[in-house]
Amino acid sequence: MTTSQFKNVPVVLVVGQTSEFVDRCRDVAPGFGAVVQACDLSAAPTMCARLRPLVLLMSEALYAFDPLEFDALARDTSSRLLRLDDDEIPLEALELLIGAAVHEAQALRASTTR
């Protein structure tokens, strides 16, 4: 998908995670009409500006690297920041967390565009 194709598609941006974890996220995202994109830490600001993800997903350890910056990044893009303690989270729990984050972010964006 090109950047313009992401304009109306809910995006979950997974930052700094293994390809296996990203694949697990991709398995559950279609249930919410979302697509998953992934990037490393250095590309996160650019990818957020380009894709304006609904959900910005990362590990607690990565978040701890620069919490103020990640909070600002999520706020500036109206994204829901989702931090996970463990990338071995059961698939059902991952689905619930991502689904809730997508719905919260959609509601946030809807309330700010009125």
Q: What is the pLDDT of residues 90-109, one digit of tens each?
A: 999 999 999 999 999 888 88
Cite the DSSP H helix spans in the chain.
Answer: 19-28, 44-51, 60-65, 67-76, 91-112
First to last CA, the chain: 29
Structure tokens at 107: 């509601």
109 against 114, higher pLDDT = 109
Annotated domain spans of the chain: 3-112
- Looking up tokens 């992934």 gives 38
pLDDT confidence of residue 108: 82
Return the amino acid letter for 71: D
pLDDT confidence of residue 94: 94
What's the pTM value of the predicted model, to 2 decimals? 0.90
- The answer to whether 49 and 60 are in contact (CB under 8 A) is no
Cross-strand bridge partners of residue 59: 84
6 against 76, higher pLDDT = 76
Q: What is the pLDDT of residues 3-59, one digit of tens each?
A: 555 557 899 999 999 999 999 999 999 988 899 999 999 999 999 999 999 999 999
pLDDT confidence of residue 32: 87
- Domain 3-112: top CATH class: alpha beta
The two most distant CA atoms of the chain are separated, in Å, by: 39
**Confidence band for 112, pLDDT divided at 50, 70 and 90:** confident
